[in-house]
């Protein structure tokens, strides 16, 4: 059986789709699965075990780009040539349904909406639940009604070794550490999404942590899109560590070694959930219940006003020290 999945969105969306892949492979262990993913998010599959056993393949397509007719024709040509038996898509708009119909794939599954006429198995959309469970609902179109499995990642040996070496170089291997990620993607910022917690507030939190728990180092998780925030915190908070993993797998490994992850609504938050690190995440306009599973070790703090800056450092510290 050949199955195609259309999964637009960021790295977090891909990780949230992993439980759906897990059940697909459980019910169809011999299936070859192809996932069409945006180029910016393709690296997420470095942590997916099915990529490494060759039963899953990723195909890059920039859904966000202003694609012309030649781009869409090429897209359809690639899909038609592979003769898939079933396709699953996260899209709901009628144009998504039309696109699936044009592929000629016999079993077409997506959320109910204006494009139902083009689908063979429309699935009711329930957005009032954890996003991974919402994605997993699409498997009902294949007659799979099991509960959504927990997020899981596969960490390669070289990623674990890199994290171990980094911990030793930073002097935090034996002590453990608190890891902070306060940034957000440029795409989120371009969309005007409020996902960045002010550096002044992070500074207050770090200073209190250093004062009350001096034996537990604080490390900043730094990526190419949040270097300005990290530079501000390094200048303001002497003794803070900086860790800059080069890819998703090593990021997940360094998160997995942390005693506590403090972060905003971001891809590293989903990595922390997947590697089962105790996590306190800050949310502005988004809903924690839709982006964090209902587990005691994953705590969401939502702004009372919908603005990240209005989450007080005292509120965050209260959650840390009561954990």
| Average pLDDT by stretches of 10, the chain with 323 residues | 94 97 96 95 95 93 81 89 94 83 95 90 95 98 96 95 97 96 67 81 96 95 88 94 96 98 95 98 94 95 95 96 82
What is the average pLDDT value for the chain, to the nearest integer?
93
The torsion angles phi and psi of 212, rounded to 5 degrees, stand at -90, -25
pLDDT given for residue 190 in this prediction? 58
Predicted TM-score of the model (pTM) = 0.93
pLDDT given for residue 243 in this prediction? 97
Residue 174 makes CB contacts below 8 A (sequence gap 6+) with: none
User: How far is 179 from 259, CA to CA, in rounded Å?
Assistant: 8
The number of beta carbons lying within 10 Å of the beta carbon of residue 2 is 15
For residue 138, give both structure tokens: 């699409």
User: How far is 271 from 255, CA to CA, in rounded Å?
Assistant: 7
List of domains in the chain: 2-142 (3.40.50.2000), 157-322 (3.40.50.2000)
Residue 217 makes CB contacts below 8 A (sequence gap 6+) with: 170, 171, 172, 175, 176, 177, 178, 239, 241
For residue 234, give both structure tokens: 């390094």
Pairing mode, if any, of strands 260-264 and 241-243?
unpaired
Work out whether the CA dihedral 317, 163, 14, 198 comes out positive or negative: positive
Side-chain-facing half-sphere of 152: CA atoms under 13 Å: 11
Q: Hey, is 75 helix, strand or coil?
A: helix
pLDDT given for residue 301 in this prediction? 97
Q: Hey, is 323 helix, strand or coil?
A: coil
Residue 187 makes CB contacts below 8 A (sequence gap 6+) with: 10, 40
């Amino acid at each position: 059986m050949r199955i195609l999945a259309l999964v637009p969105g960021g790295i977090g969306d891909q990780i949230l789709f992993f439980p759906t892949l897990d059940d697909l492979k459980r019910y169809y262990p011999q299936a070859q699965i192809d996932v069409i993913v945006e180029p910016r998010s393709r690296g997420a599959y470095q942590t997916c075990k099915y990529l490494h056993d060759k039963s899953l393949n990723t195909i890059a397509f920039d859904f966000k780009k202003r694609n012309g007719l030649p781009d869409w024709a090429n897209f359809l040509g690639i899909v038609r040539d592979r003769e898939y038996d079933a396709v699953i898509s996260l899209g709901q708009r009628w144009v998504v349904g039309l696109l699936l119909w044009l592929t000629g794939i016999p079993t077409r599954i997506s959320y109910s909406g204006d494009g139902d006429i083009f689908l063979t198995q429309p699935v009711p959309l329930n957005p009032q639940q954890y996003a991974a469970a919402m994605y997993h609902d699409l498997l009902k179109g294949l007659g799979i009604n099991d509960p959504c499995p927990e997020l899981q990642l596969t960490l390669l040996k070289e990623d674990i070794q890199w994290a171990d070496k980094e911990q030793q170089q930073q002097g935090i291997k034996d002590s453990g550490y608190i890891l902070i990620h306060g940034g957000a993607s440029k795409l989120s910022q371009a969309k005007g999404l409020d996902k960045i917690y002010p550096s002044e507030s992070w500074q207050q939190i770090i200073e209190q942590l250093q004062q009350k728990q001096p034996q537990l180092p604080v490390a900043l998780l730094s990526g190419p899109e949040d270097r300005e925030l990290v530079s501000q915190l390094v200048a303001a908070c002497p003794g803070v560590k900086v860790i800059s993993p080069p890819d998703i797998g090593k990021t997940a490994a360094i998160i997995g070694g942390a005693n506590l992850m403090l972060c905003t609504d971001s891809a590293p938050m989903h990595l922390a959930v997947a590697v089962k690190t105790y996590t306190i995440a800050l949310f502005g306009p988004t809903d924690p219940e839709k982006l964090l599973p209902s587990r005691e070790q994953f705590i969401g703090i939502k702004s009372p006003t919908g603005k990240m800056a209005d989450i007080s450092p005292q509120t965050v510290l209260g959650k840390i020290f009561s954990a």
